[in-house]
Amino acid sequence: MSSLIALSGVLVPRPLMAEPLIVGIDVGAGIFQLDLLAQNIGEAAPNAQAVERHRDGIGAAGRQATAPSIKAETGFDPRSGSSEILVIQFKETITRAYLDLSYFYAGEAENAGRNYHERGVWQAYHGARQVDRGSFVSNSNDGHFSLPVMPRAPFDRLLLSATPYISDDGVEIAPGLILTDSSDFLLRRVAYVPVMSE
């Protein structure tokens, strides 16, 4: 049985860990209206074949770290200095989205007494035009993270990528300091509000 969360006054189901991976909810119509694409490091463009599924979420298919990792995580590669990309293509224009991520940890790495957290970036587009962007840093010890995306303007496409680790005091990890792992995450749930429902 699912618990419920309120989004703009509308109750929508929150999947439990044993439930299906991705639930896309249009809170106005209650329907699933999105496509997922991914771009692995070295690929020219996002595509559906690069999307990888895992029991705890969805991400890009390439493995970006040498340490034991989940292949499906969308992650930053500290060796190449680039990130895989996960693209959420909505089938309508929306005003905001609410994402649940998994395997996105606070305090995932430590070096020289400094604690490092996983971090990512979102970019919202309407057609070919970027309308806004923002970053997000994990504050979760269990890897579960809720990400509200509320750009300045309506959008129909959302790009998610990972960045280098960041410390408690906001300092990005120096290149080459840790090469075996870096920020990565799985997308577990998407809920959103279309323009027409407001």
126 found inside a domain: yes
6 found inside a domain: no
The number of folded domains in the chain is: 1
Q: Which residue has the higher pLDDT, 119 or 112?
A: 119
17 found inside a domain: no
Mean of pLDDT values over 180-197:
86
Please check the confidence at residue 116 and state whether its pLDDT lies above 50. Answer: yes
Half-sphere exposure of 190 toward its Cβ, with a 13 Å CA cutoff? Answer: 28
Look up the CATH number of the domain holding residue 56.
2.60.120
Backbone angles phi, psi at 76, to 5 degrees: -90, 135
Please check the confidence at residue 9 and state whether its pLDDT lies above 50. Answer: no
The pTM of the whole model exceeds 0.85: no
pLDDT of residue 155: 97
Task: Determine how many CB atoms are found less than 10 A away from the CB of residue 66.
Answer: 12
Mean of pLDDT values over 45-57:
87
Range of the structural domain that residue 166 is part of: 34-187
pLDDT tens digit sequence for 136-157: 999 999 999 999 999 999 999 9
Mean of pLDDT values over 68-73:
74
Q: Is 52 left (phi over 0), alpha (psi -120 to 50) or beta?
A: beta
Say which range, 5-14, 25-34, 138-147, 156-165, has the weakest mean pLDDT: 5-14
11 found inside a domain: no
Which among 76, 170, 88, 164 is positioned nearest to 125, based on CA atoms? 88
Distance CA 17, CA 118 (A): 21
Distance CA 41, CA 44 (A): 9
For residue 38, give both structure tokens: 């991914």
4 found inside a domain: no
Backbone angles phi, psi at 196, to 5 degrees: -65, -20
CB 167 within 8 A of CB 117: yes
pLDDT of residue 16: 38
